[in-house]
């Protein structure tokens, strides 16, 4: 049996080294996963909502969740992401034209109801109806998720950059995009962790008009995106950005919790 020559071994080692460097480069530039507020954000909103439910709404939610033993409002808050399909994917966001001045028009931005605004309206109607319990349970899961999505600013961003997905930047030592930063990275890197962020959200006392429509929520989110400085200068996230926009993050999470509680109470209180 012949053995490889020193030259052949040297070439093989060189290829292995290049392959290793290529793999390392792929890992370093792997984008941060983009999942609408991320699991952490959705669970946080659902947990805050739990304490704001009316007695009737809480009882009805408990009854529906009992169809899936062990399920909680927080555990089902990510269901819509976990079972996303080509049909339901557009239900998680609405893209507004940059020349719209953040004005939501269903016939322009939500054709045939295929956006987060239309999805919320449809699923709230099912939840409040006399549909079979399994259908209403699915609607509950969608409502809990989509109301939160509507308050992630870039889920109501501009169509021309796909809600910040095309805005590449460096954040926390990694290459990513602005949408993923708002979905997950700002929450995951919150000073003090999840408990600290939840405390800040629960303490947020800004006035929120819970009676506004889902279209108005989307317009509010879009106006955050439209504000000067929302897109980081030099395509790099720095301490100044996180300090400035950290308050907005808390406000959006708190508004989502307040409005989700109002939607659930209104939909289920009369049953």
**pLDDT tens profile 221-252:** 999 999 999 999 899 999 999 999 999 999 99
Q: What is the pLDDT of residues 147-205, one digit of tens each?
A: 999 999 999 999 999 999 999 999 999 999 999 999 999 999 999 999 999 999 999 97
To the nearest whole percent, how much of the chain has pLDDT over 70?
A: 86
- Average pLDDT, integer, range 52-79: 97
Q: Is the pLDDT of residue 14 over 50?
A: no
3-state SS, residue 22:
helix
Sequence-distant (6+) residues with CB within 8 A of 133 are 63, 64, 67
In this predicted structure, the answer to whether residue 24 has a pLDDT above a threshold of 50 is no
Q: What is the mean pLDDT of the chain?
A: 88
CATH number for the region 38-268 comes to: 1.10.575.10
Which residue has better confidence, 26 or 36? 36
Provide CB contacts within 8 A for 95, sequence distance 6+.
Answer: 109, 115, 156, 157, 158, 159, 162, 163
Domains of the chain, residue spans: 1-30, 38-268
> Whole-model pTM?
0.86
Classified as helix, coil or strand, 177 is strand
Residue indicated by tokens 């169809």: 67
């Amino acid at each position: 049996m012949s053995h490889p020559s020193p030259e052949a071994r040297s070439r093989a080692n060189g290829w292995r080294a290049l392959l290793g460097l290529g793999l390392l480069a792929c890992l370093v530039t792997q984008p941060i996963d983009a999942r609408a507020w991320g699991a952490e954000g959705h669970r946080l909103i659902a947990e805050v909502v739990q304490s704001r439910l009316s007695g009737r709404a809480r009882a009805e939610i408990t009854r529906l969740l009992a169809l899936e033993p062990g399920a909680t409002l927080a555990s089902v808050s990510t269901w819509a992401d976990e079972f996303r399909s080509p049909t339901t994917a557009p239900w998680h966001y609405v893209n507004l034209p940059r020349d719209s001045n953040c004005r939501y028009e269903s016939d322009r931005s939500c054709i045939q109801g295929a956006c987060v605004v239309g999805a919320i309206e449809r699923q709230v109607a099912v939840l409040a109806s006399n549909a079979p319990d399994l259908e209403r349970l699915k609607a509950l899961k969608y409502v809990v998720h989509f109301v939160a999505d509507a308050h992630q600013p870039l889920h109501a961003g501009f169509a021309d950059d796909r809600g910040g997905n095309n805005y590449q930047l460096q954040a926390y030592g990694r290459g990513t995009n602005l949408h993923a930063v708002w979905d997950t990275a700002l929450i995951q890197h919150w000073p003090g962790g999840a408990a600290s962020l939840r405390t800040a959200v629960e303490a947020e006392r800004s006035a929120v008009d819970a009676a506004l429509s889902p279209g108005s929520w989307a317009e509010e989110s879009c106006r955050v995106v439209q504000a000067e400085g929302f897109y980081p200068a030099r395509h790099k996230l720095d301490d100044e950005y996180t300090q400035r926009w950290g308050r907005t993050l808390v406000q959006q999470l708190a508004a989502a919790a307040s409005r989700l509680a109002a939607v659930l109470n209104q939909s289920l209180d009369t049953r």
